[in-house]
Amino acid sequence: MKKQISWDKVKAGTQSVWGGETDVFPHRATQAPTVNSVAYGYDDLDEWIQVAKGEKEGYIYGRNTNPTLDVLEEKIRILEGAQAATSFSSGMAAISNTLFAHLKSGDRVVASKDTYGGTSKIFLEFLPQYGIEVKLCDTTDHHQIEKEVAKGCQLLYLETPTNPTLKIQDINKLSEAGKSVGALVAVDNTLATPINQQPLALGADLVIHSATKFLCGHSDALGGLVCGNPEQIKKIFHFREINGATLGANAAYLILRGMKTLALRMERHNSNALELARCLLEHPKIDTVFYPGLDTHPSFDTAAEQMKGFGGVLSFSLSGTEDLIPAFLTKLNFAHAAAHLGSVDTIVGPPKTTSHVENTVEERSYLGIPENLVRCSVGIENIDDIKRDFLQALDQL
Ligand SMILES: Cc1ncc(COP(=O)(O)O)c(C=O)c1O
């Protein structure tokens, strides 16, 4: 029997473990089964037709729906406090499907300048090809964003904190601006996760995740998720089931398993990143540290108001030239030099070879990303070991 649970009365730590997993699975399995079957058989043609038409619950074909994906979508729906959710083969698939499902030729999008590199490619390269106008604004200039929104737009796209410079946007304030012109407000919540920030509760319409990052948490599966109201999600789901950016069941299972420890991991990511940021701030070989949990961050007050924790990602610029970066990276013992973030293990890399590798030097400069910047996704290791490791690497430069 389906259990009726008031999830809004359940804390995030319990939602992470039990969300989507309170009903009885086949064979009374205690864990969500990974259903790899592409097709589902029917003895009764009438029942098959009913399921195909959506008049009866059931599964037909794996590009459309899958029982393992259902569990994952329900877990993120509960964690984000949304009415509906759908899944994708990657974070970029989630972003592009959301944009292409909702926009048409002649529409106008207002977005911030420094979104994730792949997202900014969609804004700069692909949407204009389809006759969709994109106005990129200074990420933290809320006055400019409000002014551009007031000129009229169908979609306002936010990302906060941003990757890799950890800028903060006021979701509540900007959602109000979007709503006043009838625009959909979408927020990329990848860096914060629902443990630290819930954009829908702050007024946004859609929340997007690269589930590849903190949600999965173990660097072993790609995925994307979008939450919103049933009408919006149906539209996005329909676009996805036709273009085929469906998440695989094995990846969905890995993300589900990772999400069981999401609340626990985020507590540790939050405290580790804050401690490392404070430690790096003191070091003579570091110029600037970008982390929204530092009270020196220009948007610390907004971050403190809308976030429960400041997340596991920080970035910093090394004093001197960018030539020091390779030496620094190779001297670290407990950090992968890799193009990724959000894992249990610490990961470092310069944005020019990671998040913004697809951008030119001019584009990175336009996006406000210094060439000597190092992004660091702080893992869940013991922070004393990580601090000691970073300090010995810096001292050798
Ligand atoms: C903030 C943000 N959004 C979206 C993406 C894209 O996610 P994926 O690599 O899963 O496609 C990334 C990837 O790094 C990201 O950092």
pTM over 0.95, yes/no: yes
- Rounded Cα distance between 310 and 175, Å, is 21
Nearest atom of ligand 1 to the alpha carbon of 222: 10
- Rounded Cα distance between 205 and 192, Å, is 17
Is 315 touching ligand 1 by the criterion CB < 6 Å?
no
Q: What are phi and psi of 303, to 5 degrees?
A: -60, -45
- Rounded Cα distance between 389 and 379, Å, is 13
Is 342 touching ligand 1 by the criterion CB < 6 Å?
no
* Full set of structural domains in the chain with CATH: 12-259 (3.40.640.10), 262-395 (3.90.1150.10)
Q: How does pLDDT run along the chain (397 residues), one tens digit per residue?
A: 678 899 999 999 999 999 999 989 999 999 999 999 999 999 999 999 999 999 999 999 999 999 999 999 999 999 999 999 999 999 999 999 999 999 999 999 999 998 998 999 999 999 999 999 999 999 999 999 999 999 999 999 999 999 999 999 999 999 999 999 999 999 999 999 999 999 999 999 999 999 999 999 999 999 999 999 999 999 999 999 999 999 999 999 999 999 999 999 999 999 999 999 999 999 999 999 999 999 999 999 999 999 999 999 999 999 877 788 999 999 999 999 999 999 999 999 998 887 778 778 887 887 778 888 999 999 999 999 999 999 999 999 8
Residue whose structure tokens are 């964690």: 79
CA of 170 to the centre of ligand 1 (A): 21
- CA gyration radius for the chain? 21
- Read out DSSP for 31-77? S------SB---S-HHHHHHHHTTSS----BTTT--HHHHHHHHHHH
Are 62 and 246 spatial neighbours (Cβ–Cβ below 8 Å)?
A: yes
From the candidates 75, 77, 107, 116, which is the catalytic residue?
A: 116
- Residue among 311, 96, 59 at smallest CA distance from 224: 96
CA of 92 to the centre of ligand 1 (A): 6
From the candidates 61, 63, 147, 308, which is the catalytic residue?
A: 63
Burial of 172 (0-12, 13-18, 19+ CB in 10 A): middle
Is 377 touching ligand 1 by the criterion CB < 6 Å?
no
Is 116 touching ligand 1 by the criterion CB < 6 Å?
yes
